[in-house]
Amino acid sequence: MTDVLIVGGGGAGLTVSMLLSQLGIDTLLVNARPDTSPLPKAHYLNQRTMEIFRDLAVADAVYERGTPPDQMSHTGWYAGLCGDGPDFGRAFGKIECWGAGGQNPAWAAASACLPANLPQLRLEPLLKQRAEELAPGRIRFNHDVSAISQDEDGVTATILDRGTNEEYEVRCRYLLGCDGGRTVGPAIGVTMDGLRDVARVVTVHLSADLSKWARDPEVLIRWLSLPHMGLGGALAPMGPQRWGPDSEEWIFHLNYRADDDRAFDNAAVEADMRTALGIDDYEIHMITRWSLEGVVADRFRDRRVFLLGDAAHRHPPTGGLGLNSAVQDAHNLAWKLAAVLNGHSGEALLDTYESERKPTTARNVQRAIDNAINHLVTTQALGVSPEQTAEENWEALRRVWGDHAEVARRAIAGQSMEFDELNIEYGYTYESGAIIPDGTEVPHNPDPIRLYQPGTRPGHPLPHAWVEDGERVPVMDLVRPGRFLLIAGEQGHEWLTAAAKAAANLNVPVDAVRIGHVDGDYLDPRSTWTQHRGITDRGAILVRPDRFVAWRSTGETADPGAELVGVLSRVLGR
C-alpha cells in the first residue's frame, strides 16, 4: 500500500513526485517508457515554474544548462535563413520576449526567478535524477499500467514490468494520471473537449552549424517567412553546450497544409527542410509530426483519481504554456494531498484542485490558440502564400521593408500578446473553497494579458518583494514546504500569537512573521512589500503553501485567535 501512485514520468509526474516526497508522502511513480522523453519540445520555463523548481533544488541546474538570459531576450522575423539573392536571411522584425533576459522591469519585479529555456529532452533527466534522490527506489520506468479500479478506500492498479514481463498490483490511497491521457483518463471515462487538428506541423531535430546565417545572438526563436516555398517555419536553438548562433543543435518547425501528404514522407520533409533553410551539411536526429490542438478534460478528478498535465489539458506550443501548466498543476495538488494524508484537512480540500486549475488551464489553452491564430494574422500581413509564385512572394515580402513597413511593424508588435503575457504566466488567480473572499472588487486591469498587478486580494499570488533579517531574501522564501504563512504588519503582534494558538488547536503547520519598513521580524527596505500588501500595520494575510493568498484582514480584529481558527478550518475543508 502506498499513499500516492503516480502514472507517468514527464514534467507533471516527476514534479508532483518531488513535491510529495519533500512533504514526506510515500509515493510510487511508474512510467511506460524505458527512459525520459527524447523529444526536443516544451523548452520555455516561466517564472512561476522556476520558483517551483527552486523549491525542489533543481533550478540551478536548469539555469546552468539552459539558454543564457542574453540569448533569449528577443524573438525575430526573417526572410528565410540563407540562399541565393541578397534578401535571403534579411531580418525585418524583432521584439522582446519573456522579460527580455531580465531587462524588463515588470518581469524583474514579479519574481526573484528569471524565466529559463531548456528543452524537454534535457530537462526531464534532471527532474528524474532529483526525484530518485528524494524517493530512492520509487521511480520505476518501463513499468506500464494496464488496468485501474477504485473503491471507497483506495485505488488498485495492475502494472506490467516490461523488463521482466511480470504483472503486479499496487494499492494506493490516490492515483495521479500524468501520462498525457494515454491510459488513466480513458480508464475513468474522461473526455477531452476543444479544438483539434488546427494545423499540421512537422518538427526536425538536427545538428548543423548555422552560425554564418543565424545572426542576432539575442534572438531565441526565429520566425522564417519562406517566399521561395510560400510557407512559414520556425527555428530555435537546442544547445546543448552552446546557444545562440553557435548552438550545435536546432529544431525546425515546418507548417504544412492539412491536405499536403508530403508531411508524412520523411524524404520529402528532409528535402523541404533543405530548401527552406538553404543548407546541405547537417545531421537529422528525429522527425516528428503533430497537430495543433487545444483541448481540456471534462473533469480533472474522478473520486480518488486526479489528472495533471497533458492528461488534463493539451495546448498549442505558442506561448509555451503547456509544460508550465503541468508543473503548476502539480504544485497546486501536492500540498492539498499532503494536508489530507497528514490529517490536517478534510477531503473537501481536494475538490478545489479542479475548481482552481481547470479554469486556469482552460484560459491557458485559449491563450495558446489565440497566439497561434495571431501568427496566421501576421503571416497574412506579410503577404506570403503558397497560392503565389516565388517571385510574387518575394515582391510581397520586399514591401515589408518598403512601403508596407508600417503594416508589418504593427502585426509583429501584436505578437507581444504571446511573448509579453506576464499576467497570464504569473498573475493568474484562484476562486474556490480554499480561498476566502474579503468583499473587495477585482482590480481593474487595462491589459489583462500583458500587465500583472501585484496585490494580496484573496486568490492572488503572493507579491514579490525583497526583505531583510540580516540578509536579503525574497518573501517567497518565507513560505516553507507544506506550511501556511501568516504575514502581519508592523504592529500585528496579536496575529502572531493567534497564529501559534490556531496552529496548535487545529494541528496545522503555520508560520507567522511581521514585515514592516522600520519594525518587524523582516524589514522592507524599499517599501515594496508595503506598497503591495493591501493591509494596515495591524492587519494580516494568510498565504497557502503554494504561495497564493487564502485570506486577509486589512486591520485588527476583536478576536484574532478565533478568526484564524475559523479561517484555517474553512480553507482546509474542516
pLDDT tens, 458-473? 999 999 999 999 999 9
**Domain-located, residue 93:** yes
**Domain-located, residue 493:** yes
Q: What is the pLDDT of residue 196?
A: 85
Q: Are residues 73 and 150 in the same domain?
A: no
Q: Are residues 467 and 526 in the same domain?
A: yes
pLDDT in tens, 133-179: 999 999 999 999 999 999 999 999 999 999 999 999 999 999 999 99
Domain that holds residue 48: 2-66+118-193+298-360
Span 215-230, average pLDDT:
95
Q: Strand 313-314 and strand 166-177: pairing? A: unpaired
Q: What is the pLDDT of residue 476?
A: 98
Rounded (10°) angle between helices 321-341 and 11-22: 30
Q: What is the pLDDT of residue 408?
A: 84
H helix intervals, 306-347: 321-341
Q: What is the pLDDT of residue 503?
A: 97
Q: Are residues 122 and 248 in the same domain?
A: no
End of a domain among 395, 428, 461? 428
Largest CA distance in the chain: 79
Q: What is the pLDDT of residue 120?
A: 96
pLDDT in tens, 3-22: 999 999 999 999 999 999 99
CATH number, domain of 129, equals 3.50.50.60
Q: What is the pLDDT of residue 200?
A: 78
Q: Are residues 148 and 37 in the same domain?
A: yes
Give the long-range contacts of residues 559-565, CB within 8 A, separation 24 or more: 560/494, 560/495, 560/497, 560/498, 561/497, 561/498, 561/501, 561/502, 563/498, 564/486, 564/495, 564/498, 564/499, 564/501, 564/502, 565/502, 565/505, 565/506
Q: What is the pLDDT of residue 324?
A: 98
**Domain-located, residue 477:** yes
Q: Are residues 161 and 182 in the same domain?
A: yes
Q: Among 177-191, 259-273, 400-414, which range has the highest average pLDDT?
A: 177-191
End of a domain among 404, 428, 452? 428
- What is the grid cell recorded at 291? 497537430
Number of domains in the chain: 3
Span 36-42, average pLDDT:
91
pLDDT in tens, 249-290: 999 999 887 778 888 899 999 999 999 999 999 999 999 988
What percent of the chain clears pLDDT 90, i.e. is strictly above it? 88
pLDDT in tens, 103-141: 999 999 999 999 999 999 999 999 999 999 999 999 999
State the amino acid at position 233 in one-letter form. G
The residue ranges of DSSP E strands in 99-245, in sequence order, are: 116-117, 139-141, 143-150, 155-161, 166-177, 192-195, 200-207, 219-226, 231-239
- What is the grid cell recorded at 7? 502514472
Q: How far apart are CA 45 and CA 305, in angstroms?
A: 27
CATH number, domain of 486, equals 3.40.30.120
Check if the beta carbon of residue 532 is closer than 8 Å to that of residue 462: no
Q: What is the pLDDT of residue 263?
A: 86
**Domain-located, residue 368:** no
Q: Are residues 32 and 167 in the same domain?
A: yes
- In sequence order, which residues have a C-beta less than 8 Å from that of residue 290 and are 6 or more positions away? 201, 203
Q: What is the pLDDT of residue 195?
A: 86
Q: Are residues 49 and 141 in the same domain?
A: yes
How many Cα atoms within 13 Å fall on the side-chain side of residue 270?
12
**Domain-located, residue 375:** no
**Domain-located, residue 369:** no
**Domain-located, residue 27:** yes
Q: What is the pLDDT of residue 386?
A: 87
Taking 80 as the threshold, does the pLDDT of residue 197 lie above it? Answer: no
Check if the beta carbon of residue 228 is closer than 8 Å to that of residue 242: no
Between 388 and 256, the higher pLDDT residue: 388
Q: Are residues 248 and 132 in the same domain?
A: no
Check if the beta carbon of residue 394 is closer than 8 Å to that of residue 402: no
Q: What is the pLDDT of residue 556?
A: 86
Q: Are residues 333 and 317 in the same domain?
A: yes
3-state secondary structure of 210: coil
Q: Are residues 133 and 145 in the same domain?
A: yes
pLDDT in tens, 422-437: 999 999 999 999 999 9
Span 49-67, average pLDDT:
98
Give the long-range contacts of residues 254-262, CB within 8 A, separation 24 or more: 254/201, 254/202, 254/203, 254/204, 255/199, 255/200, 255/201, 255/231, 256/200, 256/201, 256/202, 256/231, 257/200, 257/386, 258/197, 258/199, 258/200, 260/200
Mean pLDDT of the chain: 95
Taking 80 as the threshold, does the pLDDT of residue 485 lie above it? Answer: yes
Grid cell 492498479 is found at 157
Q: How far apart are CA 56 and CA 72, in angstroms?
A: 24
Q: How far apart are CA 232 and CA 224, in angstroms?
A: 6
End of a domain among 412, 428, 444? 428
**Domain-located, residue 372:** no
Q: Are residues 97 and 171 in the same domain?
A: no
Q: Are residues 302 and 401 in the same domain?
A: no
